[in-house]
Amino acid sequence: MARTLLLASGRSLFGLDIRDVREVLKGEPVHQVPLAPAGLLGAINVHDTVVPVIDFGRLLGRDHAPVDQVVVLESHPLALAVTAVHGLCTPVLCLPGGIVHPWVHEVFISSRGIAGLIDAVVLQQTLQRWLTPAGCMTSASRPDRI
């Protein structure tokens, strides 16, 4: 089992395979985006790349809570605002997940309690659907010619 970055949103624990994490930022200013959906906190500049920041608590169906750190994903232009990052761990006793959230593919025991292991690809797909307003034309639905 790969090393996992253990993070929290409120009292809920989650893990991200360390290979899916580009970096963790603390105190990075998040710039608001006008007319953004409620779950999009804004955007940050990461090495001259604009990266959208998702309120991880909102994704879980909670009200906005103060966030402490931002976890930037490696292969996706995306960052998660979380209440805490607890460091690295090695998951123990992994069980199938996906019951509550489709992007949690396993549940494991960590030193801080039971945590859901996030599938970064499924999370990105979920967020694309979540952040795309219904009825809006996206690049995928746009015709090649008018």
pLDDT above 50 (res 142): no
pLDDT above 80 (res 1): no
Environment class of 108 (CB within 10 Å of its CB; exposed 0-12, middle 13-18, buried 19+): buried
37 beta partners: none
Tokens describing residue 66: 């103060």
Assess if residue 66 is contained within a domain: yes
Assess if residue 103 is contained within a domain: yes
Mean predicted confidence (pLDDT) in 30-58: 89
85 beta partners: 7
State how far the Cα of 73 lies from the Cα of 125, in Å rounded to an integer: 13
Assess if residue 137 is contained within a domain: no
Q: What average pLDDT does the structure give for the chain?
A: 82
pLDDT at 17: 94
pLDDT at 97: 64
* Spatial CA neighbour of 61 closest among 107, 126, 1, 137: 126
pLDDT at 140: 43
CATH code assigned at 49? 2.40.50.180
Give me the domain span that covers residue 61: 4-131
pLDDT at 47: 92
- Looking at the structure of the chain, the number of domains it has is 1
Answer yes or no: pTM beyond 0.75: yes
Assess if residue 145 is contained within a domain: no
Pairing of strands 4-9, 113-118: unpaired
Assess if residue 90 is contained within a domain: yes
Look at phi and psi of residue 128 and say left if phi exceeds 0, alpha if psi is from -120 to 50, else beta: alpha
